[in-house]
Amino acid sequence: MTRLAINPIACRGFGVCAELLPEEVRLDEWGYPIMERRQLGVELLEHARRAVAECPTMALRLVDDTDAR
């Protein structure tokens, strides 16, 4: 299961993730991302990788929960 995770301390609320991946990320009233802790579909993985790469504060990462087992 691959999901998108955020480091809330590193995030500065630029909103790039929501622009690049609106299917998975919404912004709160202050511009900070809110994400569901759910598996990303195969069709969204490339978009998620781009969001991770484009995050100006490197606050996003992809997590493979199967690695922890």
pLDDT digits (tens, 9 = 90+) for 10-34: 999 999 999 999 999 999 999 999 9
Cα dihedral across residues 66, 50, 7, 26: positive or negative: negative
Residue with tokens 């929960």: 65
Give the domain 2-68 fold: Alpha-Beta Plaits (3.30.70)
Report whether 8 contacts 60 (CB < 8 A): no
Report whether 33 contacts 18 (CB < 8 A): yes
Q: What is the pLDDT of residues 43-68, one digit of tens each?
A: 999 999 999 999 999 999 999 877 55
Report CA dihedral (39, 16, 31, 37) to the nearest 10 degrees.
10
The pTM (predicted TM-score) of the whole model is 0.85
Stretch 5-13: mean pLDDT, rounded?
Answer: 95
